[in-house]
Amino acid sequence: MSDDAQRWKEKYLKSIENQDKLERRWAARLDLLRRGLVRSTLAAEGTDKVVDQCMKEMRDVVRTDDMDAGLAALLPRLEKAVLDSEQRRETRVNQTSAALTALVAQLQTLPLPREVSRPLKQFAKQLDARVGQAREMPLLLSELSGLQGKALSRLESPEESERPSLLQRLFGNREAQDTAPAQVPAAMAPVRAPVIAAPAAEPPGTTCSY
């Protein structure tokens, strides 16, 4: 075999080897993409029934060897389902925000002490920014439940700070005693002499006979 033929043979074998490497690399990437897509569809389940159905079909498609046609038919339906689901989610978020805001406003109308009214006011300020995040919803409900419980407990049994203090009660009673009219004890009151009625005069001309 001539030198040229040998060089061409080596180039051909090298090309085949590189092609095999590329195919194995592509197969490994495709496998990773399939696994990642399947895991993503499973994680996205539970938000919308139509989206969940599309995700299930996608998992079935990506597990096949020829998924080009299946994905081409599925993706337009998936895009529409996701868009409709997002609009419905925004509606639910607005409704939830309005309901929580109304509940907070009702609590704020109550005569609450400062240690309850201040956290409630801070909660109301953060409500709009947090209610749109799904992960914040359990925390919001838990915090609001705690604030509501504190508000109701304070209304049922007021704090000692809202009652008159010991000094207030003491000086209040003393002021009441100072302003009240002085009363002399009965034992120290002056004794008046009893009034004895004079005997009635006898009518004229009347004599006593013995």
- Domain for residue 191, yes or no? no
Q: What is the pLDDT of residue 68?
A: 83
Q: What is the pLDDT of residues 177-210, one digit of tens each?
A: 555 454 544 444 454 544 444 444 444 444 444 3
What mean pLDDT comes out for the span 84-91? 90
- Domain for residue 154, yes or no? yes
Q: What is the pLDDT of residue 153?
A: 85
Q: How far apart are CA 118 and CA 162, in angstroms?
A: 17
- Domain for residue 76, yes or no? yes
What mean pLDDT comes out for the span 12-18? 86
- Domain for residue 189, yes or no? no
Structure token pair of residue 88: 């419905």
- The count of domains in the chain is 1
- Domain for residue 134, yes or no? yes
Q: What is the mean pLDDT of the chain?
A: 76
Q: How far apart are CA 94 and CA 91, in angstroms?
A: 5
Domain containing residue 54: 44-159
Helices (H) and strands (E) in the chain, counts: 6, 0
pLDDT at 29 over 50: yes
> Which string of b and e fits 93-103 if b means at least 16 CB within 10 Å?
beebbeebeee
pLDDT at 80 over 70: yes
DSSP secondary structure code for residue 163 in this structure: S
Q: How far apart are CA 64 and CA 70, in angstroms?
A: 9
- Domain for residue 11, yes or no? no
- Domain for residue 2, yes or no? no
- Domain for residue 100, yes or no? yes
Q: What is the pLDDT of residue 206?
A: 45
φ and ψ of 206, to 5 deg: -105, 125
Q: What is the pLDDT of residues 125-148, one digit of tens each?
A: 988 888 888 788 889 899 989 988
